[in-house]
Amino acid sequence: MTPRRALLLLPLATPALAQPRPVFVASFSILGDLVRRVAGDAAEVRTIAGPEVDAHHFQPRPSHAEALLGASHAFQNGWGFDDWFTRLARGAGGNARLVTVSEGLTPRPVAARGHSHGGQDPHAWQDVSAARHYLRRIAQATGLDASAQDARLGELDAWVRAEIARVPEARRVVVTSHDAFGWFSAAYGVRFLAPQGVSTSAEPSAQQVAALIRQLRAGGIRALFMENLTNPATLRRVAAEAGVEIMGRLYADALSPPDGPAADYEAMMRHNVSLLVRGMLA
């Protein structure tokens, strides 16, 4: 470091009587919001794959490694969703403690659909009780208290159940573009049919698409939804051939920008469930 650079840094260093806040880094936007809920004002929270960014296939740049410098904790989802983050956090040269928030949950296998990649379904946050597990993992790792946020999500979970209960059981069937709702399905008793696999890159075969269209027609299903990160081409074809309209856009793997309908975890769940219920009752 040259003397000139040292002088430039001096004004920043001297007035800092207050301790700098610790830095927590999260791999993707939904987890970033959960970390923020626990951290409150106690830490600076940075998110690598931001709103509307697909974390399944994220490719970090050197600037993303910089975000981890000086971090005390690095949070990832696990189960193959954000493996790139493991490499990023370990390679950043810092000494952030790497925390996998899904650890301790009983994994759910990816729904077998012939073209699945095997392994675990990573989309646990779509089940609010699993998101509460995430909160507890974050609290344990940081020594912070998550009880107020946990209670909040407890209320959210009860609201989701009450909303779904409005739909007769036989009508709880929905079509979306990728298998991101296995956890939601298991928790809340809604069946999801998807022409695409669990990862956003898997392409459905012609037979799979045809089978889905037959299922839609036979079941009189009108609840057809796009997702924020998935190419809607196949879903549009399914909708057109089955004579059904796409009813809106679900947020599966990333939040919306702050001015959108899914700016944080709670808003995302409320947006998704409201849309799903409207579609299933249509």
By the 8 A CB rule, do 83 and 57 touch?
Answer: no
**Minimum CB distance to Zn ion smaller for 174 or for 180:** 180
Q: How far is the CB of 94 from Zn ion (least distance, A)?
A: 28
**Minimum CB distance to Zn ion smaller for 33 or for 253:** 253
Residue 207 to residue 55: CA distance in whole angstroms: 28
Q: How far is the CB of 251 from Zn ion (least distance, A)?
A: 11
**Minimum CB distance to Zn ion smaller for 139 or for 198:** 198
**Minimum CB distance to Zn ion smaller for 33 or for 244:** 33
Tokens read off for 52: 């509307």
Residue 75 to residue 50: CA distance in whole angstroms: 14
In 3-state terms, what secondary structure has residue 157? helix
**Helix (H) / strand (E) containing 45:** strand 44-49
Q: How far is the CB of 195 from Zn ion (least distance, A)?
A: 14
Q: How far is the CB of 92 from Zn ion (least distance, A)?
A: 25
Q: How far is the CB of 122 from Zn ion (least distance, A)?
A: 7
Residue 52 to residue 254: CA distance in whole angstroms: 5
Q: How many CB atoms lie within 10 A of CB 78?
A: 21
Amino acid at 213: I
Residue 140 to residue 30: CA distance in whole angstroms: 19
**Minimum CB distance to Zn ion smaller for 179 or for 264:** 179
The closest alpha carbon to 236, from 280, 176, 173, belongs to 176
Residue 260: burial class (beta carbons within 10 Å; 0-12, 13-18, 19+):
middle
By the 8 A CB rule, do 193 and 174 touch?
Answer: yes
Q: How far is the CB of 54 from Zn ion (least distance, A)?
A: 8
**Helix (H) / strand (E) containing 36:** helix 29-39
Residue 282 to residue 280: CA distance in whole angstroms: 6
**Minimum CB distance to Zn ion smaller for 124 or for 160:** 124
**Minimum CB distance to Zn ion smaller for 156 or for 229:** 229
**Helix (H) / strand (E) containing 192:** strand 191-193
Q: How far is the CB of 114 from Zn ion (least distance, A)?
A: 18
Q: Which residues bind Zn ion (CB under 5 A)?
A: 180, 253
